[in-house]
Structure 1
Amino acid sequence: MSMTKIDTMEQFEEILASKEPYILFKHSTTCPISHGGFTAFQEYLGEEQAVPAYYLYVQDARPVSNRIAEYFGIKHESPQVLYIKDGKVLWHASHWNITKQALKENVK
């Protein structure tokens, strides 16, 4: 399965309305740490993917990124990955804690 880029509030609201589990990655295109986390995210998706995956570029979709932080009550960081099921964040990680292994262990 591939990942889908989100840019708008409408796209985020559609994802919320679907009620299916998913993972969401907030990526900063100017941060080398974020690049490493995004690479791990892509590697995870290339090997296995239990749920749909979405990502956004924080610089291009700041209002969406802020809305995600506000909606789930989780302070924004980038890079940041969230695993959402039944409308709740079951797991999230940021910076160097985003690894292929961590994704395998926590996204089910």
Structure 2
Amino acid sequence: MNWNILNSEAQLEAIKQESADQPVMIFKHSTRCSISAMALSRMERNWKEEAGIKPYYLDLISYRSLSNKIADEFDIDHQSPQVLLIQDGKCVYDASHMSISFDDLKQQVAA
């Protein structure tokens, strides 16, 4: 899995624009949380590039203000860990904790 590191607010506009051409996933990860580590590991083990989803990784401990900006920008409640699926500039799906699933992401993209 080839993560794109998300570490600046300027990237949010680019992500919105990218999401017009292909779905974009943002994985908000807490490096201090064992549940987040487990969700990240499951995502990486199940990831398939052919799904056509561009993955972004956010270390929300290091970039907490950016994590809050994402919640505001896409009108979702902040969770940790959390996955957001962005299509056409909008968050069309989000999941947190043990609800994070690559299969669910694929189903959302196919819908």
Q: TM-score by structure 1 length?
A: 0.86
Counterpart position of 2:14: 14
Aligned-residue offset at 1:3? 1.7
Q: Give the aligned residue type for 1:6.
A: L
2 CA distance for matches of 1:86 and 1:100?
Answer: 20
Q: Residue 16 of structure 2 contacts residue 86 of structure 2 at CA under 8 Å; is this kept in 1?
A: no
Q: Residue 17 of structure 2 contacts residue 88 of structure 2 at CA under 8 Å; is this kept in 1?
A: no
Identity of aligned residues (%): 39
Matched pairs, number = 108
Counterpart position of 2:3: 3
Aligned-residue offset at 1:63? 1.4
Of residues 99, 103, 106, the one that matches 2:105 is 103
Q: CA RMSD in A?
A: 1.8
Deviations 1:58-108 (A, max 9, x none): 011111111100011100001000111011111110001012333333344
2 CA distance for matches of 1:66 and 1:91?
Answer: 17
Q: Which runs of 5+ in 2 are unaligned?
A: none
1:87 counterpart = 2:89: yes
